[in-house]
Amino acid sequence: MLPGSIQITGEALSGAEIRDICESLKENSVRLLSVRGCQLSDRDFGRVCRGVSESRSLAQLNLNLGVVSSSSRAKQLADALEANRSIQTLFLHGSPLLDAGLVTLNTALSTHPSLVSLDLGDCMLGDEAVQLICGMLPPDGAKSGLRELTLSANPAITTKGWARLAIAVAHSSQLRVLNLDYNPLGDQIAGMLAVAVASSRTLEVLDLEGTGLTNQSAQVFLDMVENYPTCLRVLVLAENAISPELQQQISDLLSEGEDDDEKDAEARGRSVAPREKPAWLPHSNSNSQMVLMASGLGESFLAETEM
């Protein structure tokens, strides 16, 4: 366990444990709080939220796997986030928020002064939620916005919603990591995303694992990285119907682009950080076919990889 962290998974939390969590939050001794998959009463959830609202040290909050299980809990969390000023990373993966839940959370999320990383994977979101999320990707630096966004496994989002997101990504001034794995995107939506990536000045990581892509999409991405300057350094294409040859070609081009960046930095006399794999790498076995280049992103804000 990391220093200054409380990490509990899949347990029924007792009143004593809730009290200890709240006291630690009040003492500002916790930077990471994870209660993923834990069972706690509505009363105790409210107590934790009040502790979150008062904490000045909490940087990462993990409520994955159904902890935010009702509209009333979404409202309690929204109130806590409106008072909190320190949280940088929020995990809500696997919470049955629906669009209504994100409507409840929207103001707190979009105006939070420190939040830069948000996981809304498998939250049963639709197009209305995507429209709100786009507001968290501002087109200029005048307003703080997300640098990492996860929208994995939200199959209710339609082509209209993904098109709206693609436009926001193209113009976002801050987004670096976008995880869309296990959504039924298909080649048409992937083409929109390729245009967004080509237009983006910041996006470095795109995860499209298991999104129903074929060689048609891969050819579009290949043309993009071959013919246009892009910030993209990592493209995940595992679990798609894409030939190994196309994946290797894309991989080679991404690698060449990163090498060129390092040479340019060295020529200008700047030190070059060693390449590191992103901390959120999808769980795939060594035989998986994927385009995945190590990058110099350093430690990902989405530091906890378990969902």
Instruction: Let me know if residue 271 belongs to a domain.
Output: no
Q: In terms of domains, do 79 and 196 share one?
A: no
Q: In terms of domains, do 113 and 198 share one?
A: no
Residue 222 Rama label (left phi>0; alpha psi -120 to 50; beta):
alpha
Per-residue confidence at 140, pLDDT binned at 50, 70, 90? confident
Q: In terms of domains, do 102 and 169 share one?
A: no
Domain that holds residue 49: 1-124
Instruction: Let me know if residue 297 belongs to a domain.
Output: no
Instruction: Let me know if residue 196 belongs to a domain.
Output: yes
Instruction: Let me know if residue 33 belongs to a domain.
Output: yes
**Mean pLDDT for the chain overall:** 87
Instruction: Give the number of domains in the chain.
Output: 2
Asked if 6 and 30 touch (Cβ cutoff 8 Å), the reply is: yes
pLDDT at res. 60? 98
For the chain, what is the radius of gyration of the CA atoms? 20
Indicate the residue among 99, 124, 149 that finishes a domain: 124
Please name which of 260, 214, 208 lies closest in space to residue 235, comparing C-alpha atoms.
208
pLDDT at res. 246? 95
Q: Which of 13-17, 113-117, 191-195, 297-301 has the lowest mean pLDDT?
A: 297-301
pLDDT at res. 188? 97
Per-residue confidence at 287, pLDDT binned at 50, 70, 90? very low
Instruction: Let me know if residue 129 belongs to a domain.
Output: no
pLDDT at res. 109? 97
The beta strands (E) that lie in the chain are given as 5-7, 32-34, 60-62, 89-91, 117-119, 148-150, 177-179, 205-207, 234-236
Q: What is the dihedral angle through the alpha carbons of 302, 305, 306, 307, rounded to the nearest 10 degrees?
A: 50
Q: In terms of domains, do 82 and 12 share one?
A: yes
CATH number reported for the structural domain that contains residue 57 in this entry: 3.80.10.10
Q: In terms of domains, do 182 and 237 share one?
A: yes
Q: In terms of domains, do 90 and 8 share one?
A: yes
Instruction: Let me know if residue 151 belongs to a domain.
Output: no
Asked if 145 and 138 touch (Cβ cutoff 8 Å), the reply is: yes
Instruction: Let me know if residue 140 belongs to a domain.
Output: no
Please name which of 56, 62, 31 lies closest in space to residue 302, comparing C-alpha atoms.
62
pLDDT at res. 143? 75
Per-residue pLDDT of 7-54, as tens digits, reads 999 999 999 999 999 999 999 999 999 999 999 999 999 999 999 999
Instruction: Let me know if residue 304 belongs to a domain.
Output: no
Q: In terms of domains, do 111 and 2 share one?
A: yes
Q: In terms of domains, do 109 and 197 share one?
A: no
Q: In terms of domains, do 163 and 243 share one?
A: yes
Q: In terms of domains, do 104 and 183 share one?
A: no
Q: In terms of domains, do 94 and 2 share one?
A: yes
Q: In terms of domains, do 177 and 250 share one?
A: yes
pLDDT at res. 257? 64
Asked if 143 and 173 touch (Cβ cutoff 8 Å), the reply is: no
pLDDT at res. 217? 96
Per-residue confidence at 142, pLDDT binned at 50, 70, 90? low
